[in-house]
Amino acid sequence: MAITTALWSFALVVGLLTLTLGLDTALVLRTAALGERRRAWGVVLGIQSGTLLWGALTSVGVTALLAASHVAYQTLRWAGAAYLLWMGARMLWLTWRGTSADGGSGGGGTVRQEAAAISDPSDSLLDGWRRGLLTNALNPKVGVFYVAVLPQFIPATAPHLATGLLLTSVHVVLGLLWSTVLVAFARALRGWLRKPSARRVLDRVTGTVIVGFGVKLAMGD
């Protein structure tokens, strides 16, 4: 009975967290809206793989070292910030390169050339998974969240590792359900995003959001 109560309580907490607009939401929406369906689901699976990793590490006590060690936390924080800044800056740079390729007025390049300059033409599940995993795994705030929250929902008499993984699985399932909604919503935007100019707008907005998260992480806020 205690485990059932813990599951429902934890589901409420992480459910609210899942619905909060953030970096994960921006990545999934952007990738799915560009029509990269396999890559979008790769991002979703990568993010959830990162969540499962943090839950497993917390359940065996490894992430407690992250919360206790200033050096470990700072190292992971700077690695995560560098990755987000690189990803966001690259996305922004590609949009500006696409603009300059047609002379800045939209009259010098073909639609196909513009689209190719803005987004990666490959639609790879593995590439998306790697991006989602790195984004989640290099975010020390996710680890600290799990260190602070997960142990509170594990009953004293329950097996620590098994219960921790069970609770984390609830978070993963909720994340997958919410991502399904996001992907379906993004597909409705595909008609508008057939225009290269619309793709540029989306990538510039998403790139700015990612850079913002990178700066925020670097500043330790």
- Global pTM reads 0.73
Continuous segment of H or E residues that includes residue 116: helix 111-118
Task: At 42, list the tokens.
Answer: 């790769």
- pLDDT at residue 51 in the model: 94
The set of residues, in sequence order, having a beta carbon less than 8 Å from that of 18 and lying 6+ positions away, is: 171, 174, 175, 178
Rounded CA gap, 18 and 116, in Å? Answer: 32
What is the length of the chain? Answer: 221
Q: What is the pLDDT of residue 115?
A: 41
Q: pLDDT below 50 — which residues of the chain?
A: 1, 99-120
Residue pLDDT, tens place only, 106-162: 333 433 433 443 444 556 899 999 999 998 888 877 887 888 788 888 888 888 889
Question: What phi and psi, each to the nearest 5 degrees, are found at residue 112?
Answer: -65, -40
Q: Say which amino acid occupies 92.
A: L
All residues at 6 or more sequence positions from 42 whose CB lies less than 8 Å from its CB, including other chains: 124, 125, 126, 127, 128, 129, 130, 131, 132
Give me the number of domains the chain comprises: 1
CA distances to 40, 156, 171 from 3, rounded to whole Å, are: 34, 10, 15
The phi and psi torsions of 139 (rounded to 5 degrees) equal -100, 100
Tell me what pLDDT residue 63 has: 64
Nearest CA to 193 out of 40, 37, 33, 38 is that of 33
Enclosing domain of residue 43? 2-219
